[in-house]
């Protein structure tokens, strides 16, 4: 079984905030398949850096507003 990615995203919420863009519409703007957008949204797949930037650009947001990397529990303290 594949381990879920540690890269989380807000694509679904941002799609709806941007006028309810469908996964298909976003995929077309980014140049990937709808299935790819779906897998990224669900955290089953981490996009390449280039695709991540294209998704952020298509949504009109900076990269860090769309994606977040969590490296697990903090070791501080």
Give the model confidence (pLDDT) of 21-74 as tens digits.
999 999 999 999 999 999 999 999 999 999 999 999 999 999 999 999 887 654
Which comes out higher in pLDDT, residue 7 or 30?
30
This prediction has a pTM of 0.83
Distance separating alpha carbons of residues 11 and 38, to the nearest angstrom? 10
What's the pLDDT score for residue 70?
Answer: 80
Q: Does the CA dihedral 45-49-54-56 come out positive or negative?
A: positive
Catalogue all structural domains in the chain, each as residue range(s) with its CATH number.
Answer: 7-69 (1.10.260.40)
What's the pLDDT score for residue 76?
Answer: 45
For the stretch 8-24, pLDDT in tens is 999 999 999 999 999 99
């Amino acid at each position: 079984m594949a381990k879920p990615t540690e890269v989380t995203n807000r694509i679904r919420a941002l799609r709806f905030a941007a006028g309810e863009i469908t996964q298909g519409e976003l995929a077309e703007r980014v140049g990937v398949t709808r299935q790819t957008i779906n897998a990224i949204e669900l955290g089953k797949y981490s996009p390449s850096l280039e695709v991540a930037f294209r998704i952020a650009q298509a949504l009109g947001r900076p990269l860090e507003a769309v994606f977040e990397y969590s490296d697990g529990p903090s070791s501080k303290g």
